[in-house]
Amino acid sequence: MLESFETGIWSVGLYRGPSLDKLAPCSQGNPIVTGRNFGLADAVAMADPFAIQKNGVWHLFFEVFFRSNKIAEIGAVRSENLVDWVSCGIVLRQPHHLSYPFVFEHDGEIYMMPESKSVRRVDIFRAVDFPTKWVFEKTILRGRYMDCSMVYYGDRYWLFAGWRSYFLRLFHAKHPLGPWTAHWLPSIRHYSKSSTRPGGRPIITDGQLVRFSQDNKDYYGQQLRAWRVTAMNRLWYSEAPLFEQPILKGTGSGWNARCMHHIDAFEMPESERSSEFIAFVDGSA
């Protein structure tokens, strides 16, 4: 969820790299999604990108913030080659602010879990005509949670949830629709602007679970860090920095000069012996 619009326009870009700490802009140019190329003049910010591939086509979902009504909805674009993107329009709107459209597939169905902290719910929607039509499926949690991020690890699903801006809570369930149980620890990360708030989809790479967090130490949206989960069960949680340095940060010029605070990364096999990451990211000047 975006919290600051004064620092510049937020846009969505695409990075590639051999590892998470060596991501760089793709050759076709960035950003790939802006208010201008989305065709909505009143849309001043696109952020929190989440992607899913279906039948060989990439579908990218993101928060779209409108200046006129100070509320955000969920938009989408699609591409067959990660170069040419076609607008799918606004695909989900509610009476309240929506952001962080965490999209995932389970048992052949595609679901979306957008942030709805303003109404103190974590709701899940199901696609009935993908990618443009969604129906409400279930409220899985109640509370002022933000940037909820789900991953299947071990024998169950885990849900990382930002709480009170800079605390991190953890939940677990046997099914993504729940019932969800709170972790034994009241919060797995206490107040910290640099390590708590989720910043994208957790991933498993080289056999280890990696969690991403916003680093807002100096200002909101400053940079993004990666954490290696070293222990996670119903009674305990621990993690350590995957890298000492942020994996994404403002570049000093262009569309992402000042801020980068989100990633949706996918490990793509190039051959039997090597692979690379593609990463949908956001940034602000």
Residue 273: per-residue pLDDT = 52
Residue 51: per-residue pLDDT = 98
If the chain, 285 residues long, is cut into consecutive pieces of 10 residues, what is the mean pLDDT of each piece? 61 96 91 78 87 97 86 94 93 96 98 97 98 98 97 97 94 98 96 95 96 96 97 97 97 95 91 77 95
Helix (H) or strand (E) holding 36: helix 35-38
Residue 102: per-residue pLDDT = 98
Which residues is 241 bridged to in the sheet? 227
CB atoms within 10 A of CB 266: 15
| Lookup: tokens for 104 | 């995932």
Residue-wise burial string across 208-241, b where 16 or more C-beta atoms lie within 10 A, e elsewhere: ebbbbbbbbeeebbbbbbbbbbeebeeeebebee
Residue 5: per-residue pLDDT = 47
SS3 of residue 166 by DSSP:
coil
CB-based contacts of 261: which residues, under 8 Å, 6+ apart? 47, 199, 214, 216, 220, 221, 222, 223, 224, 248, 282
Residue 272: per-residue pLDDT = 52
Residue 275: per-residue pLDDT = 73
Which pTM does this prediction carry?
A: 0.95
Tell me how far apart the alpha carbons of residues 228 and 242 are, in angstroms, rounded to a whole number.
Answer: 5
Which residues is 123 bridged to in the sheet? 139
- In CATH terms, the superfamily for domain 10-284 is Glycosyl hydrolase domain; family 43 (2.115.10.20)
Residue 7: per-residue pLDDT = 45
Tell me how far apart the alpha carbons of residues 145 and 160 are, in angstroms, rounded to a whole number.
Answer: 10
